[in-house]
Amino acid sequence: MTLLYIVRHGNTFEANEAPRRIGARTDLPLAASGLAQAQALGAHFARTGVRFARALSSSLRRTQGTAEAILARQPHPLVLEPADFLAEIDHGPDENQTEDIVLSRIGRTALDLWDTEAVPPPGWDVRADWRRERWLEFASEALAAHRDDAILLVTSNGAGRFALSAFGLKPGGKAGSVKFRTGSYGIIEAGGSGRFRLLDWDRRPDAAG
């Protein structure tokens, strides 16, 4: 089996800023709190003995910065690889808009469908089928080359959820939401014959681990 650690990047907005829907066209760096989240992830994986054999992220600064902070705590150096299927989605007319503006355009029902079923609201460009195919291709390649290894994949809320639908998985938490928070991660176990198991989702490091 291969363990896929899917990490969402850290915060790009501080607590006193109004969050916005940022996607592929908005390349923000980590905020100070986001860097702290990334460092907490790195410390958590180091303490719990997670050793990554490979690390991938999108090309955005927020994902690369998160990945680099995690890799800084690994006992051996790894080269961070770019991966197209980890790239953020395009929010179309809602790009860089605050949540109240987004809701006024698409409505609550459309947003709920996005968060529970990964069905994109009208006007968003997510390339859903392509992303699912790439997740499956990557899992197959990872099993062939890295059986019994852990692989780090740093992505975004919009892109990461397609791992779940590609593998036929769904979290059992709050209303079955496929969202995961900034600075959190999930673990998917990939086995032979197309078998996948969700071990964790939307987990943030705590003081104990």
How do residues 142-183 score in pLDDT, each as one tens digit? 999 999 999 999 999 999 999 999 999 988 765 578 999 999
Whether 193 is in a domain gets the answer yes
Give the domain range for residue 163: 2-17+31-89+125-203
Whether 162 is in a domain gets the answer yes
- Sign of the alpha-carbon dihedral angle for 102, 104, 107, 108: positive
Q: Quickly state the pLDDT bin for 193 (edges 50, 70, 90).
A: confident
Which positions ≥6 away from 3 have C-beta within 8 Å?
A: 149, 150, 151, 187, 188, 189, 190, 199
Is 29 within 8 Å of 47 (Cβ atoms)?
A: no
HSE on the CB side for 143, CA within 13 Å? 16
Whether 139 is in a domain gets the answer yes
CA 120 to chain centre: 17
Whether 108 is in a domain gets the answer no
Whether 97 is in a domain gets the answer no
Dihedral, CA of residue 28, residue 31, residue 34 and residue 40, to nearest 10: 130
Per-residue pLDDT at 26 exceeds 70 = yes
CATH code (residue 169): 3.40.50.1240
Whether 40 is in a domain gets the answer yes
Per-residue pLDDT at 208 exceeds 60 = no
Q: Name the residue among 65, 46, 52 with its Cα closest to residue 205.
A: 46
Whether 109 is in a domain gets the answer no
Number of domains in the chain: 1
> pLDDT value at position 209?
44
The predicted model scores a pTM of: 0.95
108-117 helix and 99-106 helix, angle to the nearest 10 degrees: 100
Whether 140 is in a domain gets the answer yes
Q: What's the whole-number mean pLDDT along residues 1-9?
A: 97
